[in-house]
Amino acid sequence: MKIYKVKNYEEMSRKAANIISAQVLLKPDCVLGLATGSTPVGAYKQLIEWHKQGDLDFSQVKTVNLDEYKGLTPDNDQSYRYFMNKNLFSGINIAMENTHVPNGAEADSEAACSAYNAMIRDLGGIDLQLLGIGHDGHIGFNEPDSVFPAETHCVDLTPLTIEANKRFFEKAEDVPRQAYTMGIKNIMLARKILLVVSGADKAEILAKAVEGPITPQVPASVLQLHPDVTLVADEAAMSMMKL
Ligand code: PGA
């Protein structure tokens, strides 16, 4: 694992955007795996800025997002499709038909998930997958479990995740109870992985994920087995790591 320890959220965002833009420059028709949540927003802002300055061209880039709430349509302002359109896609020259998010409006979980797996395969897999980490160690919505779920599947969100995500909703009861998420195999098949982490509240789980035993109880720990992971984390997030 390549580790960049940076000062704060701003530096983390800039470094992450640098790594993503290097991927786009080296392979203009690359497949980027993208993530939602608060952590990547600063990196997305930076990418938009570099695009506006004429330094980054997304016209051939394809994207696949990790997850989506089941039951939310793309026009719902709490959906991850809406989040991606607002925080990244509307600010860059990407073709919307090249952007993919699991279809939260599809009630048939099996249909939604198998279509998503097939789409990722048809694109030739993911060149660079961006990841955040949840307080329980989840990546995507792969929650602590007794196994590493392989491909895109429907999950019941844990109380901790519902609690963490309720800040985006009017009240906790409005947070959907289920989501579609890429599985660990989809993520691990990405050629490169970029994990971004910020803040003291993530220090304990980050130390467990990077330095603890590999276990599905800490889903992000599986990244220790991937041959090309870059971690960009700020000092607060890395404060409980041994190195
Ligand atoms: P956050 O979410 O970036 O909002 O902390 C990370 C995650 O849950 O994967």
Residue range 45-71: mean pLDDT, rounded:
98
Mutate to test the pocket of ligand 1, among 39, 67, 198, 218 (most ligand atoms within 8 A of CB): 39
C-alpha 137 – ligand 1 centre gap (Å): 10
Is residue 197 scored above 90 in pLDDT?
A: yes
Q: Is the pLDDT of residue 158 over 90?
A: no
pLDDT value for 8: 98
Rounded distance from Cα 134 to ligand 1 centre (Å): 5
**pTM for the predicted model, two decimal places:** 0.97
pLDDT for position 161: 86
Is 153 considered catalytic here?
no
Q: What is the pLDDT of residues 180-190, one digit of tens each?
A: 999 999 999 99
pLDDT at 243 over 80: no
What angle, 0 to 180 degrees and rounded to 10, lies between the N-to-C axes of helices 80-87 and 41-52? 40
DSSP 120-143: HHHTT--SEEEE---TT--BTTB-
Is residue 138 flagged as an active site residue? yes
Mean pLDDT of the chain: 97
pLDDT at 92: 98
Give the helix, strand, coil percentages of the chain, each rounded to 5.
40, 20, 45
Task: Between 170 and 94, name the one with better pLDDT.
Answer: 94
pLDDT (0 to 100) of residue 38: 96
Nearest CA to ligand 1 atom 2: 37
Mean of pLDDT values over 47-71: 98
pLDDT for 210 beyond 90: yes
Using most ligand atoms within 8 A of CB, pick from 12, 34, 38, 87 the residue to mutate for ligand 1.
38
67 catalytic, yes or no?
Answer: yes
Residue 168 has pLDDT above 90, yes or no: no
Query: Using N-to-C axis directions, what is the helix angle for 41-52 and 9-26, rounded to 10°?
Result: 50
Question: pLDDT tens digits for 109-157?
Answer: 999 999 999 999 999 999 999 999 999 999 999 999 999 999 999 999 9
Instruction: With CA atoms as reference, report the closest residue to 160 among 204, 121, 190, 195.
Output: 204
Q: Please give the distance, rounded to the nearest whole angstrom, from the Cα atom of residue 139 to the centre of ligand 1.
A: 9
> pLDDT > 70: what percent of the chain?
100
- pLDDT class for 160, splitting at 50, 70, 90? confident
CA angle, 183 as apex, 179 and 186 as ends, to 5°? 130
Pocket test of ligand 1: the residue of 36, 41, 166 to mutate, having most ligand atoms within 8 Å of its CB, is 36
Active site residue 143: yes
Give 157 Cα–ligand 1 centroid separation in angstroms: 13
Percent of the chain whose pLDDT exceeds 90: 95
CA distance 196 to 131: 6
Provide the pLDDT for residue 162. Answer: 92
Contact, 219 vs 144, CB < 8 A? yes
51, 67, 68, 151: which is the annotated catalytic residue?
A: 67
The reported pLDDT for the residue numbered 232 is 98
Mean pLDDT over 43-65 rounds to 98
In short, whether 34's Cβ falls inside 6 Å of ligand 1 is: no
Name the band, by pLDDT with cuts 50, 70 and 90, for residue 171: confident
Residue 234's pLDDT band (cuts 50, 70, 90): very high
